[in-house]
Amino acid sequence: MRTRSFFFFLSSSNFLRWFSMNCFDSRSHRTLSSSFCVTKSCCSSPLSLSLRALSRWSSFCTDSATRSSASRLSFSSCSFLACISAVLSIFFSSSSSSSSSSSSSIKNCDVTFSTKSIGQNVPVADKDTIVTVTLAMSCDVYHGSTITILGLTGTQTADTGTLALTIDKANLINANGAWTQSTGALVMTVATAAQDNYANDHWETGTAAEGTVVVSFKLQQGNDDLPAGVSPTVTLTRHFAPYQYGPGTTQAPWWGAATAVTTETMDKPGTDIFGVTNGVNPLVHVIPALDVATVTQSSPFINYENTITVSFSCNVDLTANDVAKIKVETLTGSGIAAAHAWSEVSGFAANEMGTANAAYATDSLEWTVATSLSSATTYVWSFAITNPAAAQAPTVSITVATTKTNNDAATANQAIAITHADPLPDTALKGVTAGLNALKIVVPFEVRTLDDTVDTPGAPNIVTVAFTTNIAFVSGDQITITGLLLGTGSSTSANVGTITSVANSATAVFGTGAAWNQVSGELVFTCTGTAVEATAYSFKFTVTNPPSTFNTVPSLSVTVGTGNTPGSNTLSGSTFGIQALALTQSAGNTDTVSVPFTIIDPVFTSLVFSTAEAPGAASELVITFTPGDEVTTSKTNLGVVTIILPGFTGGTDSGYSGVAVTSVPDTFNEASFTRLGASSILQLTTTTNTAAFDASVAVTVPASMGIKLPANGVTSAQSSVKLSVGPNVWSEEFSVTTMAAVTPLITGVRINALAAKGAAASSTVATMPKFDTVLIGLEERADVTATIFQTGDEVSIRQGSTAWGCYSTRADAASTTRTADIPLNLIGGASPISHNGTFNASGLDATTATGTTYTLCFVGADILAAGVDSETSVTIELQSKVTSIELNSNGNQFSYLKQSPRNDFSIRLYGDAIADGNTVAFIPDASACTAMNTANSVTFTGAATIASSVASFAWAGCIPLTSGVPRIMDSANCPTDGLYRLCYHNGGDSTTIETGISTYYKQVNFMELTSAKHVSSPTFEGIAATNDTAFGENFVHEVYEPFTITVLLKDENGNPCCEGTKVFLALTKAGADDSSNLYNAAGSNTNTDKIVLADANGVATFTSYTIRGTAGKFFYFTASVAGRSLNFPATGAANAGFQVRPTKLTQYTTLVTEYIVGANGDNANAVLGDIEIRALDRYNNVLAGLVTADDCHCEAMLETGNSGVDSAQSTNFGGVGGFTASADLTAATVVFNLGKATFSGVKIAKTAGRYFRLKYWMTEHAGSTGAAVLQTLGYTTSDAAAVNSPTSYVTEAYSTVFMLSPAKMKLSWGGTAEDSPFQHAGATDYTASTFPIVTRLDGSPATYPTVDAPNTDGLPSAINVILLDADGSTLSSTNCTKCFYARLVKCDDSTPTNGTTTGMGLTNGDGVTLPACVGQAIDANEPDQMAGMTQALCATNGGECTSSTDFQQTLSSSPTTAEGTEAFVANGIAAFYGLQARYTFGAGFLLRFVMDPQYDNISYANETLVTPVNGSVNHTEIKTVHTAANGQVFFPDIGAVGGGHVESDHKSMIIRPYNLEVAQHPGGDGVDLDGLGTAGDGTVNTPDGVGAGQPFRVQPAVVVKGYDGSSEYYFSKDWANHGHMPITAVIKSETCGQDCVDKGIALTGTNDTGVSLTALQAGAFLNDGTGDLTGIFTGDPSSIDVELAYSTILSGNVGFYWRDLKVLTRDSDTGFEGLKLMFMAGWHTHLLQEHVNNSAGTFTTVDSGYFDVFTAPGAPLNLQAIAYGELGFRIEYDPSEIARLKPLSGFIVEIDFCTQSGSDSGSCATRAVAGYPEALSLPNKPLGSDLYTGGGRTEEVQFSYSPTTGGAATEVNVTLRPKDHIYGGDELRIHLNYPGLYRAIDYSGSCVPEGSHGSLFTADINANTSVLTLTAVSGAEIARGQPVTIMLPLACEIIYPDNALAFEADNAHLGSNHTKTNLADYQSSRYGTKALSPPMRAIAYVVGPVDGSTGDNCKNVTCTVSS
């Protein structure tokens, strides 16, 4: 037998803490120990030990009755109590006052360091330093304890075990320490002598002799900078003596040799030394260096005076005691040659470096410290020199030498040397790079030159300046050139030309402009950039030469003022920027003129046109001149002489270039010409390397060059013809002396084809209207020998007559003063030669309405690129009084109306201030406007008065004829064609105005019918109706059908013409005028209303005309104009023409929407009755003239969809003859008489469906059959004959659509398809008793249900629905696709109500599962036409079940997709194959078969359905379009009220689960059977036993499973859509046989869950097929319904778990090994023998694993307690005998410290927590958690929120004041409950608590259970009573509830599915619409960690239960 032991330990704070040696059962391997807590206040009473069985799995301690059943040992003998008392006295006496140092008892003390300081003496890198440590402790320390200083890192002292220590008190610490360099660790050992007496063997820290110890040791500093030093820690590793508790060897066995008891950071002094900040702190050190070291100067230029300045600071103090010296070296130059005077500048207090001159050595000065220089101060001093005359840049350095004397005797002096090699700042000074460096000297300007170029008067002179400077001039600096005097200017200030760079981007530095004072001659450049030193900059600018009378040589220099970058510099006592330096000529200047600005004038002698050419033609030119200045291509004048030739033209816009010329002498060889209007220029260029100078030159330009004389001529010796040297306008110009004259070119002009009638009757002065389209014609001079005009020439006009205005506007766009350039067309042959073109004058400015002067400009086609730039001397008067006219107000404006009609017309006038009452007239072109008042005739309109800007002209005799056939227009008195001009008479001032507007009266020569067609597509079919181009002889026209006819008018050339011409339309029928029956669109039939005007395209359109009041044959039309007419059809005969037919047929008799086959006294037919058809026009007037003699017949045909084969389709109707015999439709062919035809006694047999109609034809002759037509017509029928016969036509009509419904339906099962899918053999009709009661979820097809065994393993393989008439005959002609649907539905009362009777005659409540389905019926008022039933919905996900509102796959032939529920009807039968119930189960289900389903939007309160989706086939509220009782049937059949044939014995069926799975096997205690090779719960190392008579620790649980075709699936959704399904648990008696009876074994529940829905207890189920021998059910039902339902405890599955099942045996000592339970779900709760008798077809069952029923173990033996001083005690005992039915498992060890009186604590009974008030929104629970996790303790918390916006995230503030301490790992579990607050399950954010205590907790929210858990972080410790505040921020996405479900916004962390819309859905689906408010107070359950000591069930004030 193995002894069990437990150790219990007390900490120094006197809380009892525990450690356990795990105790294991040798057979079950189960840990026996558990956590507990004990407070000291309870530990003054006797101790008892008990071992007791756990009463149930959900709680350990329940009540005294439970405890009394435990096996318990109590000890109250004096000896034991004395032992325990002694132990307890040892515990707590040790916490009394401390003993003296000589006491033999231990001094109980927690060690801390009361003193722990550390410092050093040398803070210099690489030097030795002495580290000093001072220590004192709060407790005594035993021999061998060690003190470790850690963190002295960064030294160069190597590892050693014997680092010498200096200790101020001997014998306390060893003289050598152990040093580790890498960690900076020094270990010192307490060196008290080892003795057997504890009092003499420790460091007594509380005495003056031993209390404080000072230890010092030497370390070498690191060789780097460490200004912050280190922060070492000190640790004590405490040793205890074996005899620490007194003499002897009683030693706690768990102690090792040493225990680390404290680690603390050491204190640093924080004081300075050697000038180093905090230099006394441990290991602070710096590398000696100069913090500041610079040597600078004041001026970097040669010869100027200079000041040298030294700035100095060291990072350690320098003293005279250390003999510190400072030296500045390499001071080259003539300014330093001996000891040098110097002066203090800053930093000095009192001569710290003395007053003597600096000591001189070669190129160096040295200073000696006289007192001391502080490391915290920067010292500055200076001395003066004069810069040398040459440039230099020496290298300067500073060195320091000193020897530091340490402040202790242990370390020798240590020398320090510092060298700062580069004290020069390299900073620019006065524009010199590194100019601040001492003795860097430069030359300011190394290069400075100026050059000029030419000497022509007025010519541009280019000046070039070059600088090379060592000054980095910057933007804003000014450099001045002096002496630039070029005569006296009119201003003292001006700018030279733009400065450009020559070299090195000079203008980027010196700018692109300069200010020139022409009086002083100063030219000032202001820098715009920064100069680069030693760079050769060169730039140039241009000045204009003075006249030839001026000749002065300037004296030039450069200087810089003091206000610029060089600043002020002193030279010989004077102050400058840079003194003036002379400018010189550059060495590369080769100008032969040595003196600048020598000026000479040119002379222009003559210009001769050597050939006799006309104006506008090319001519040879001879030019004679003297240049004066040197002209050559190498000069800036480019060797060019320019001749200005105003008005000369030729070439492109740039003229000509590179043309050879000759000259005498031979100096010029090339010419170019540029068109510039008044400034056109001819440039002559010298031969390369040849110069023209001061001699006359004659240059000949050949005529072949193409220079043309001006079109408007030139005058003699014209002064504007000039000469200049160089390019154009380069220099001054000089006029020609001699030149001949030339006369103009153009002599005549026409506007809008009208002869000029303008001012003074001049042929070159015309009138033009201000309009956008004006024709112009030009005439050339008759005496010109050659034709100068050519096609492509261009002209424009410009306002006014200003000279040379044509050139100035040549490139302008059209404007108010200029037209666009227009091309001209040459009209050849006659003389004078003419040009025509078109102007847009609409945008011109007519400053005077009656005439504003414009000038015509011209350019030849060969030089168009130049623009219209030539003057012509042609003047045009622009008038705006009348700008355009509009014919008949047609919206088209013209100034030249080319075609006016030969009949009445009007014009609308446009212009400036057209006045009513003024008059206008058209007169012949040859007449003048003075004749405008001539009387009206065929050639004169007469003066017409203007009204509203319109003038009308009429010819009264120009009208249609009034007699004759056909009717036509007569034109005897219409106007004569020809050209006319428009004149305007201004009534105000009696002025007659020439407008320049013209027109031409045009004769129509041809007429053409272009279109004659119906306005819209015909309403009938057939090729006779599709003639869309004309009313041909075979055309069929419909009465009242609008039509449009268009006639095109053409001129003599066949072109469309004659807008405004009147066109008249007449109608003739059978040789007589029938125009009175021809109506226009307005419904008028008068002749005047049938005249239309031709439009702008010559088209006359008769729109929407109709023929009314007549019908028949031989019609034709006639269209006519003055002098022309047209007939169509063209024959115009009495026996030919088109036909007119009626508009439509209509069914006059009204049909109803549904006919039932077998109603109205005819059991086999649907009776429609008599049907009358009428022929109408479109306004529903009966055409009584349609009589028998017209031979028009009517025929009828029955149609349905999809070409007659599918009654479920509403499109593509066709005859049904393919499936219906002609005898099934009773109808006859009839003939129209007086517009009517009647069918008698119409009826239809043997068919049903949704969409049917009747089709009717009216044809010209009867069909070939003469009988009813049922199928699509063949070629011999009337429809085909009408289409193919050009003289026949057909009119169709249709009835309204109607339904044909069956009288009833019946159901059958089985059968196989033979030959076609429409016939079935072997099917069996269902009877009232053969419908199944039970079917299996996801079952296999069942083929043979019988009355004896109606319950199947699945639905039949085939279920057939047969459509019947009232006689029961099959409607064999019924055919449709997708017209029958199968659905699974569920009774609304699927849970049976006790006391009601089922259809089987059984009473609900006695175990029957099948419901009564109360109220089950057809209800047409319901959206789904069902009462007491609704569509079954998915109860879990899978296949196409994705949400709780899905239903498609609850009935399906496929396990994975929704299939098989849609069927067609063939020959009156709909067959469904392979249907099985899926994804739902339970009682009260039916199949429903619906014919022609539809869906609507009606929602009723008693329907729990989703909102319908229009048009969706898959919708729950499905109903038939037929009468409800005629369009559906149920399975089981509910009889005639449900559209059925028979009434089943039961009203619904049960869908039993496919399978059940044991989710949790009974057990939880005792022995692991799986480990013994017996199948228990299937898991090794978990016990598989239960205590006899005790509720199972692990209660059984089962879950429902289905089968998806490949694997089983769970019902894992809480959708509550499955049906009622109880489950029963029984003992499987075959596991115990007769022993079940002999040992009295029974399975029972208690108050929560019984064995079944109807019984509390059951004996074993024998399961032998002979009867319920042991399946005896007794007892009333339990409080919880034992039925399958969703539970989160079942891992979120549908199933059931029992709460309190237990096994009863004969007595307390009776157990049983290897028992099983069976779980069953089916049609009854206790008639379980049906399971055997019906071959398991009525139930689904599953067995549990094996389990033992065991009893309690014996009492413990040999109990003893062993004390371990202040650390705790040990309990040991021997267990009693262990066996499989008496295992040592499932029990707890209790150590109780308690009083032994009082009802609350007499037995240390656990007190239940009282129910919390409802205001806290908490459930009434006795405990918040079980004892195993340490529960029972609670804290009250308070909440507040911000913001409190419904539906928005809120900050949650949690506050509490704990009643007890809270430690790391403790959890506060707060139930937010119903619902308070919530957060979505898929929250993905990060919730980090904030607030004053937020960092001490983590937060988690269980969105399913609405529980907030706050967990104290590791190491946290919160004292009792301390206020705690925690804030959960917005990022936690805790949602404030919203009563209105109106959420404000989407939330950030809730996932993409959680929008504001479905957040509302989420809340309402979880909590409904209950008014919600989050809790203001709540109770937090405190749960300690598994290995912790807090949070245990310590509710009793005087008692602690520890377990």
Question: What is the pLDDT, as a whole number, of residue 1395?
Answer: 57
Please report the pLDDT score of residue 279 as a whole number.
92
pTM: predicted TM-score of the whole model, two decimal places: 0.45
Q: Which amino acid is at 1366?
A: A
* Rounded-to-integer distance, Cα 144 and Cα 1372, Å: 113
Residue 799 has pLDDT above 70, yes or no: yes
Per the structure block, which two tokens stand in for 337? 């040659």
- Work out the pLDDT band at 589, boundaries 50, 70, 90: confident
Out of 17-31, 101-115, 938-952, 1232-1246, the most confident range is: 938-952
Most confident of 88-92, 824-828, 844-848, 1381-1385: 1381-1385
Give whichever of 268-272, 480-484, 962-966 has the largest mean pLDDT: 268-272
pLDDT at 1904: 63
Give the pLDDT score at 163: 94
CA nearest neighbour of 1004 among 897, 888, 901: 901
Measured distance CA(1412)–CA(1391) in Å, rounded: 9
CB atoms within 10 A of CB 1177: 19
Distances (CA, A) of 391 to 394, 443, 444, 1675: 10, 7, 10, 124
Residue type, 618: A
Whole-number Å distance between alpha carbons of 1532 and 1488: 9
More confidently predicted of 1897 and 1347: 1897
Half-sphere exposure of residue 1418, counting CA atoms within 13 Å on the CB side? 23
Statement: residue 1805 has pLDDT above 50: no
Calpha distance 1395→1348 (Å, rounded): 26
pLDDT of residue 11: 33
| Model confidence at 123: pLDDT above 80 | yes
pLDDT tens sequence across 58-110: 222 223 222 222 222 222 222 222 222 222 222 222 222 233 333 322 334 56
Would you say 1693 and 1679 are in contact if contact means Cβ atoms under 8 Å apart? no
pLDDT at position 622, please? 93
* 1400: confidence class by pLDDT, cuts 50, 70, 90: low
What's the pLDDT score for residue 1795? 40
> What is the structure's pLDDT at 938?
84
Cα separation, 1524 vs 1405, whole angstroms: 34
Q: What is the DSSP letter of 391?
A: -
Is the model more confident about 1206 or about 1846? 1206
380-405 tens-digit pLDDT: 999 888 888 888 888 888 888 787 75
Q: Which of 115-119, 169-173, 1663-1667 has the highest mean pLDDT?
A: 115-119
C-alpha 243/C-alpha 252 separation (Å) is: 10
Highest-scoring range by mean pLDDT, 46-50, 830-834, 986-990, 1183-1187: 986-990
Tell me if 421 sits within 8 A of 432, measured CB to CB.
Answer: no
Tell me: the pLDDT tens digits for 1719-1746? 999 888 887 766 655 555 688 999 999 9
Give the range among 821-835, 1172-1186, 1925-1939 with minimum mean pLDDT: 821-835
1867 pLDDT band (50/70/90 cuts)? Answer: confident
Query: Which residues lie below 8 Å from residue 1051, measured CB to CB, with a gap of 6+?
Result: 899, 1002, 1003, 1004, 1005, 1006, 1057, 1058
Average pLDDT over residues 484-494: 62
Q: Identity (one letter) of the amino acid at 1322?
A: G
Q: How confident is the model at residue 192 (pLDDT cuts 50, 70, 90)?
A: low
Cα of first residue to Cα of last residue in the chain, in angstroms, is 24
pLDDT confidence of 1953, banded at 50, 70, 90? low
- Which pLDDT belongs to residue 1786? 45
Query: What is the residue-wise DSSP string for 1737-1752?
Result: -SEEEEE---EEEE-P
- How confident is the model over 1128-1171, as pLDDT tens digits? 888 778 777 777 778 888 999 999 999 999 988 899 999 998 99
Omega cis (within 30) before 1286: no
- pLDDT the model gives residue 330: 81
What is the pLDDT confidence band of residue 355, given thresholds at 50, 70 and 90? confident
1900 vs 1888: CA distance, rounded Å: 9
Q: Determine the residue type at 812.
A: D
pLDDT at 1950: 59
Q: How confident is the model over 1199-1206, as a mean pLDDT?
A: 90
Smallest CA-to-CA distance from 1823 within 41, 62, 513 is with 62
Whole-number mean pLDDT of the chain? 77
Residue 935 has pLDDT above 70, yes or no: yes
pLDDT value of residue 88: 28
Which one has a higher pLDDT value, 887 or 1228? 887
SS3 92: helix
pLDDT at residue 12 in the model: 30
* Residue 806: its H or E element: helix 805-808
Tokens of 436: 């601040």
Residues 6+ positions from 458 with CB-CB distance below 8 Å: 544, 545, 547, 731, 732
The pLDDT of 506-529, averaged and rounded, is: 87
pLDDT of 243 strictly over 50 = no
User: Rounded CA gap, 22 and 3, in Å?
Assistant: 12
Higher pLDDT, 1233 or 1603: 1603
Least confident of 484-488, 557-561, 924-928: 484-488
Beta bridge partners of 179: 160, 186
How many Å apart are CA 710 and CA 1985, to the nearest integer? 115
Per-residue pLDDT, averaged over 1010-1028, amounts to: 58
Q: How far is the C-alpha of 715 from the C-alpha of 709, rounded, in Å?
A: 12
Of 848-862, 1500-1514, 1535-1549, 1645-1659, the least confident: 1500-1514
Rounded CA-CA distance 1525/1265 in Å is: 40
Q: How does pLDDT run across 1060-1110, given as a tens digit for each residue?
A: 999 999 998 778 888 888 999 999 999 888 999 999 899 999 999 998 877
Q: How many CA atoms lie within 13 A of 256 on its CB side?
A: 6
The pLDDT confidence band at residue 160, using thresholds 50, 70 and 90, is very high
Paired residues of 1569 in beta bridges: none
Kindly state the tokens that stand for 900: 């006016």
pLDDT at 670 over 90: yes
Q: For residue range 1031-1070, list pLDDT tens digits in order.
A: 777 677 888 888 899 999 999 899 999 999 999 999 987 7
Residues in the chain: 2003
Give me the percent of the chain exceeding a pLDDT of 70: 75
Determine the Cα–Cα distance for residues 1051 and 1931; give it in Å rounded to an integer. Answer: 87
Q: Which of 1959, 1975, 1976, 1957 has the alpha carbon at shortest distance from 1967?
A: 1959
* Token reading at 1960: 């509302």
Q: What is the pLDDT of residues 1636-1660, one digit of tens each?
A: 777 778 899 988 899 998 888 887 7
Confidence of residue 1802 (pLDDT cuts 50, 70, 90): very low
The pair of three-digit structure tokens given for residue 1239, joined into one six-digit string: 């069918």
Query: Cis (ω within 30 of 0) for the bond into 1843?
Result: yes
pLDDT band for 1185, please (50, 70, 90 cuts). low
Q: Which class for 813: exposed (0-12), middle (13-18), buried (19 or more C-beta within 10 A)?
A: exposed
Euclidean distance between CA atoms 1079 and 1085, whole angstroms? 5
